[in-house]
Amino acid sequence: MLHNLKSTGLLAYCRKGFEKECLQELQQVAGQYLVYGYSRIQDQQGWVYWQVSQGNANKLYADLRSDQMVFVRQLYLVIGEVEAESAKDRVSPVVEALQNCGSRFGYLRIEAPGDDEQGSLRGLSKKLVAPMSSAMKAAGLLTAKKDSRLPVCFVTCLTGQHFLVAAGAKPAMSHFEEGIPRLRFDPEAPSRSALKIEEAFMVMLEPYEKAFVLKRGQRGVDLGAAPGGWTWYMVSQGLRMTAVDHGALAPSLMQDADVAYVASDGFVYKPPKPVDWVVCDIVDKPTRTLERMADWLVHGWTRYALFNLKLPMKSRFDAVEACLQKLQQKLESAEVEAEVRVKQLYHDREEVTVIVLTAPFPDKSNVS
Ligand SMILES: C[S@@+](CC[C@H](N)C(=O)[O-])C[C@H]1O[C@@H](n2cnc3c(N)ncnc32)[C@H](O)[C@@H]1O
């Protein structure tokens, strides 16, 4: 879709404070395609503009999927960087940058990833949509009505007069705005952690994959379950759960017929019978969590696992890599065929979420 676009590099959004890890991830994956570049990053900006100096960024972009990257939550192909000379006219320099870029667009989105929810750049991005759309339509760059067969044009506000102009298309582009699903907290959930597990199933699995692996009537175990947000979510999906924690669950869950509470150590508990899911939200050393999850998978105590890995203060990218290598080694030496996905979710702070699915895998052609 974007192979004729004149691009200068990639724009990735990430959690604020994880720009370095986001850049490391981009560089690692691009190196496999012999694409090289550079970036000046600042801490806490929430995005990385990686300028390509050698190789084909478009080809790389066509092969990437932001939903399968760890620190990258949204990904676009950059057309140009624009500094408006005056706050009175921000529209024409952007339209000028888009002229001759080699693409028409089916939709325009203006974003401010580095800004807080109520920030002034967010306000500006909203105000710019109408005049920018009109000018792009007048220049033949934007279709009159939304057309999802064409790429999306993104204007990213870095400051009030400094913009990155970019294009996005699936599968590299997440269909969630800025790569963040907007979830509504259900007041019946015992903790806000319920949003995290909901996000994991929404962002890390395609809907057909979720339908294949998460089904009514399954059984699951939640390690480190209290007060019970994850258990509550799994029960809401039709599972019967065993919740393991030294601390008590919310009273509503203690009385729930689909929940069995076990006051025990999550690193010692072993299910009497194999289950479909183990989920684990215990805050501990990542290697300890990983070893225990590997035990569950290798011994066949579960078919699927979802857990968090707490990140160290330094070398966070390397720490994730090391954990994943260790997990892969354990699974391979036990001849367990598995698909491993890792992502730093919007609801994750200093941690990443891991999903492991053992074979048989969801197959899109079998979707009913
Ligand atoms: C982050 S909270 C879990 C929140 C939970 N996922 C929810 O949605 O409400 C971590 C929990 O792990 C429990 N925990 C810590 N170490 C544990 C262990 N060794 N065994 C069992 N539970 C443990 C704590 O008591 C705490 O309730």
> Is position 4 within any domain?
no
Cα–Cα distance measured from residue 51 to residue 321, given in angstroms and rounded to the nearest whole number: 24
| Same domain? 219 vs 85 | no
What's the order of all strands across the beta sheet hosting 338-343? Answer: 259-262, 240-244, 219-223, 275-280, 302-310, 351-358, 338-343
Last residue within a domain, chosen from 179, 213, 247: 179
> Is position 185 within any domain?
no
| Same domain? 156 vs 112 | yes
| Same domain? 109 vs 217 | no
Phi, psi of 147, rounded to the nearest 5 degrees: -130, 105
**Average pLDDT over the chain, rounded to whole?**
95
Looking at the CA of residue 196, tell me the nearest atom of ligand 1.
Answer: 8
- Do residues 14 and 41 lie in contact, with contact meaning Cβ atoms separated by under 8 Å? no
> Is position 290 within any domain?
yes
Mean pLDDT for 307-322 is: 95
- pLDDT reported for residue 288: 96
Q: What share of the chain is helix, strand, coil (3-state, %, to 5)?
A: 30, 25, 45
- pLDDT reported for residue 366: 61
> Is position 187 within any domain?
no
- pLDDT reported for residue 114: 84
> Is position 278 within any domain?
yes
Last residue within a domain, chosen from 179, 202, 226: 179
Q: What is the pLDDT of residues 205-238, one digit of tens each?
A: 999 999 999 999 999 999 999 999 999 999 999 9
Looking at the CA of residue 191, tell me the nearest atom of ligand 1.
Answer: 9
Looking at the CA of residue 266, tell me the nearest atom of ligand 1.
Answer: 20
Q: What is the pLDDT of residues 227-278, one digit of tens each?
A: 999 999 999 999 999 999 999 999 999 999 999 999 999 999 999 999 999 9
- What CATH code is carried by the domain that includes residue 34? 3.30.2130.30
| Same domain? 285 vs 155 | no
- Ligand 1 centroid to residue 232 C-alpha, Å: 14
Mean pLDDT for 146-170 is: 96
| Same domain? 198 vs 174 | no
Asked if residue 119 has pLDDT above 90, the reply is: no
Q: How far is CA 178 from CA 70, 182, 203, 346, in A?
A: 15, 10, 12, 10
| Same domain? 248 vs 354 | yes
| Same domain? 258 vs 308 | yes
- pLDDT reported for residue 98: 96
Mutate to test the pocket of ligand 1, among 245, 265, 291, 345 (most ligand atoms within 8 A of CB): 245
- pLDDT reported for residue 368: 52
| Same domain? 166 vs 230 | no
Confidence of residue 117 (pLDDT cuts 50, 70, 90): confident
**Total of domains in the chain:** 2
**Domain hosting residue 86, numbered range:** 9-179
Does the beta carbon of 229 sit less than 6 angstroms from any atom of ligand 1? yes
| Same domain? 139 vs 286 | no
> Is position 2 within any domain?
no
Of the listed 127, 310, 330, 364, which one is catalytic? Answer: 310
Cβ neighbours of residue 305 closer than 8 Å, sequence gap 6 or more:
277, 278, 279, 280, 293, 296, 297, 354, 355, 356
Mean pLDDT for 97-118 is: 91
- What CATH code is carried by the domain that includes residue 280? 3.40.50.150
Q: What is the pLDDT of residues 83-106, one digit of tens each?
A: 999 999 999 999 999 998 999 999
Looking at ligand 1, which residue's alpha carbon is closest to its atom 25?
247
Does the beta carbon of 348 sit less than 6 angstroms from any atom of ligand 1? no
Asked if residue 68 has pLDDT above 70, the reply is: yes
| Same domain? 155 vs 199 | no
The separation between CA 295 and the C-alpha centre of its own chain, rounded to angstroms, equals 26
- pLDDT reported for residue 324: 95
Confidence of residue 6 (pLDDT cuts 50, 70, 90): very high
Does the beta carbon of 265 sit less than 6 angstroms from any atom of ligand 1? yes
| Same domain? 197 vs 312 | yes
> Is position 277 within any domain?
yes
Paired strand residues for 242: 221, 260
| Same domain? 110 vs 234 | no
Asked if residue 1 has pLDDT above 80, the reply is: no
For the record, the structure tokens of 229 come out as: 């947000």
Quick check: is 310 catalytic?
A: yes
> Is position 275 within any domain?
yes
Q: Above pLDDT 70, what percent of the chain?
A: 99
- pLDDT reported for residue 365: 75
Last residue within a domain, chosen from 179, 202, 219: 179
